[in-house]
Amino acid sequence: MKPRERVLRALNIQEPDRVPADLGGMNTGIEADAYEDLKRHLGISGPTMVSARAHAVPAEEVLQRFNIDTRYVYPYRLKQWNSEAISNSSTDEWGVKWARPESSYYFDIVHSPLSDASLADLERYAFPTRDDYDWQPDLEEKARFLYEETDYAVVANALDVGLFERTWFIRGFEQFMVDLVLDQEFAGALLEKVLESKLDALDYYLGKVGKYIHVIMLGDDLAMQDGPLFSLDLYRRLIKPRQKEINDLVRSKTDAKIFFHCCGSAYPFIEDFLEIGVDILNPVQVSAANMDTANLKRQFGSQIVFWGGGCDTQHVLQFGSPADVDREVKQRINDLAPGGGFVFNQVHCIQPDVPPENICAMYDAMKKYGVYPRG
């Protein structure tokens, strides 16, 4: 079976010849430091390209080694990984300033431009438009090539973080959480401004690639390890209707399946996600509350595709042995694969200190256990 057919059968909740495998997206990829270690382990040379800060773009040789069935359309201009350059502070299109401490692998927000803003300030602030982004040159041509000249499933990589996340990025997390409770007029107005900006960029992106893709990555981190960040009532009044507007735009521009990323204990939101048109849930954070893979499959396996959950990244992939990884992958495949509706990927991105031996063990186990018909 060709990779594209394999993925499409899984997305239609049907059993292909084996579980399809993914690597390379903003929420399903590998961090550059881990990727550099993996290349050395595999004896692969050449520069490491990144799609956003430190998210590596895997080389074709790596994708072939792990039998990856997806290929990505990256919206923004790729950059060559340079650990020194990447450690510098930067300001994004929204005016949010980021910096990476010397002791960290990750960037922190050091300035949120609307932290002290009033309603009147929102009208004066220059929210980004489609013209403010550093789009990938020949974006449409690259998408067309993947669609017409390869047999892989084509995935449109995420444009940005989610609506809620982007809003608190520019307001500050603590202040926006206060707004959601004590100043819902301001919170709604800010969400609306962010929504308008995101819809403008998404409209441009899908205008270029929409007819060539099979999956579009969206998402919003709404949960913690043990449950939602806020009440479901608040989510349903202020955030969910605006997420639906995003999904409605997607439906008007492409036939691609909607992939929705929500870290943590996403379980309480799944029925809401289904109501607003989500087809695929990611990352299936198996170590979070109420995210037992067997139970998720029983409850929702006929309604939603699980993309991720193939190996726990908080404990097993990072700190376990290759044998531990093998057992974990076997369990998750046994839970999520029956009947189709499962695309294999670890839980979120592979972190910088994950041993390359464990990465190889994970994909080797996927190949070993992920066959249909299920035994």
Residue with tokens 């999956």: 215
Helix (H, G, I), strand (E, B) or coil at 326: helix
Are 46 and 17 spatial neighbours (Cβ–Cβ below 8 Å)? Answer: no
Residue stretches of the chain with pLDDT short of 70: 83-87, 375
212: DSSP letter: G
pLDDT of residue 86: 61
Helix (H, G, I), strand (E, B) or coil at 222: coil
Are 313 and 339 spatial neighbours (Cβ–Cβ below 8 Å)? Answer: no
Angle between helices 139-149 and 184-209 (to 10 degrees): 60
Q: What are the tens digits of pLDDT across the range 245-274?
A: 999 999 999 999 999 999 999 999 999 999
Report if pTM > 0.85.
yes
**CA-CA distance, 306 to 310, in Å (whole number)?**
10
* Closest residue by Cα to residue 360 from 319, 332, 309, 326: 326
Cβ neighbors of 255 (< 8 A, separation 6 or more) are: none
pLDDT of residue 217: 98
323 CB-contact burial (10 Å; exposed 0-12 / middle 13-18 / buried 19+) = exposed
pLDDT of residue 87: 60
